[in-house]
Amino acid sequence: MKETLLLNCEHRFLLCAIEEKKQLDGRQTYDYRNIKISFGTDYGCCIVELGKTRVLGQVSCELVAPKLNRATEGILFFNLELSQMAAPAFEPGRQSDLLVKLNRLLERCLRNLKCTDTESLCAVAGEKVWQIRVDIHLLNHDGNITDAASIDAIVASCHFRRPDVSVQGEVTLYTPEEHDPVALSIHHMPICVSFAFFQQGTYLLVDPNEREECVMDGLLVIAMNKHREICTIQYSGGIMLLKDQVLRCSKITGVKVAEITELIQKTLENNQKIREGVENSWGDLEDSEKDEDEGGSDEAVILDNIKMDTGAEASDIGSQDDPIVLSDSEEEEMIILEPDKNPKKIRMQTTSAKQEKAPSKKPM
């Protein structure tokens, strides 16, 4: 399908609104949309929602022979796919320009920077190394794919655990039951921040949504980590910039990246606590703190049939105000959640499809 065209009146409306420093969703100029980070069952599966832009990332690993000129280093591979469900304009043949741009940016930001220690991925020098593959799929396009994808890639990599190996003559791969899986060693977390310029560079917005992207004149992406080191800058837009605009943007990036990195740390810690809590003792569910930050984003953990002798049943929890619905299962005595209880509980959420299937699930 062709891209949905932007109407002239919509175009003018957006530009006028931006001139008056107003955005349709009530954000200020330097505000990000709500960021929600949630994890899947497996290690390395992560969904990031930046406003309505939704991105799913999965990290997987494999033992392969190393590249000839880098015999002691593992291989890191990033791939971003623009799924056809994300926007009507994304068709297999048509997306190449945008796809190339986004992929190259992500590659430069993450792979070339050695944010992951590739030497630690070597199992047997010259013969077997780990190849880590990060696949990111765009599920819904509402602007600013770059930022969402970069957050997703980093969080998924931090969350991922690879199987432990030991080498005694030959390589033995341990299953998760035998040895705990090992995390990747990540040196630093580069996060991309996008700035959109309007009216020949007079006005600037952080985190443009899709409509604003149609109207913008130029896009500047700065990737920074929390130590205020700039990892990548890319500007190639239709308009010309001045040096102090770039410097000003880099200062704003510093602030934003600090906030986002903090959110990421919190969600990762939270997820870790929940996993340990559930694995340690099934009946003794620990409380986990609810995450609160910039506009009430919270993390949801999707747990499903963890290796327990009883199946894990979960209840569907919407926002804090919605009544908590218990699933129809025999493990009801294990989870007791009252609707009016204050939110210091483990919040487990399944998709509504699972909710419908729950009654037919047999506990093991």
Partner 1 sequence: MAGLELLSDQGYRVDGRRAGELRKIQARMGVFAQADGSAYIEQGNTKALAVVYGPHEIRGSRSRALPDRALVNCQYSSATFSTGERKRRPHGDRKSCEMGLQLRQTFEAAILTQLHPRSQIDIYVQVLQADGGTYAACVNAATLAVLDAGIPMRDFVCACSAGFVDGTALADLSHVEEAAGGPQLALALLPASGQIALLEMDARLHEDHLECVLEAAAQAARDVHTLLDRVVRQHVHEASILLGD
Number of residues that bind partner 1 (CB under 8 A): 36
For partner 1, the closer of residues 257 and 348 by Cβ is 257
300 near partner 1 (CB under 8 A): no
Select from 225, 271, 329, 349 the one that contacts partner 1 (CB under 8 A): 225
Return the residue of 8, 175, 236, 360 that touches partner 1, per CB under 8 A. 236
CB 114 → partner 1: shortest distance, Å? 9
**Residue whose CB is less far from partner 1, 1 or 173:** 1
Contact indicator for 291, 347 with CB cutoff of 8 Å: no
The rounded distance, in Å, linking the Cα atoms of 45 and 135 is 10
60 counts as binding partner 1 under rule CB under 8 A: no
- Nearest to partner 1 of 194, 297 (CB atom): 194
Cα–chain center distance at 139: 12
The bridge status of strand 122-124 relative to strand 128-140 is antiparallel
Selected from 61, 138, 151, 224, the binder of partner 1 by CB under 8 A is 224
Q: How far is the CB of 100 from partner 1 (least distance, A)?
A: 5
Burial of residue 184 (number of CB atoms within 10 Å: 0-12, 13-18, 19+) = buried
Interaction of residue 30 with partner 1, rule CB under 8 A: no
- 232 sits near partner 1 (criterion: CB under 8 A): yes
> Which residue of 5, 7, 247, 353 would you call a contact of partner 1, by CB under 8 A?
247
Residue 254 binds to partner 1 (criterion: CB under 8 A): yes
Q: Is 234 a residue that touches partner 1 (CB under 8 A)?
A: yes
Please name the residues in contact with 164: beta carbons below 8 A apart, sequence gap of 6 or more: 173, 174, 178, 179, 180, 181, 182
Is the distance from CB of 194 to CB of 144 less than 8 angstroms? yes
- Which 3 state secondary structure label does DSSP give 56? strand
Identify which of residues 21 and 228 has a Cβ nearer to partner 1 in the complex: 228
Pairing type for strands 191-198 and 203-206 reads: antiparallel
Helix (H) / strand (E) element for 48: namely: strand 45-50
Ranges within 184-213 binding partner 1 (CB under 8 A): 188
Determine how many CB atoms are found less than 10 A away from the CB of residue 5: 9
**Is residue 113 near partner 1 by the rule CB under 8 A?**
yes
Q: 153: closest CA among 99, 120, 190?
A: 190
Q: Which residues bind partner 1 (CB under 8 A)?
A: 96-97, 100-101, 103-104, 107-108, 112-113, 188, 220, 224-225, 227-243, 246-247, 250-251, 254
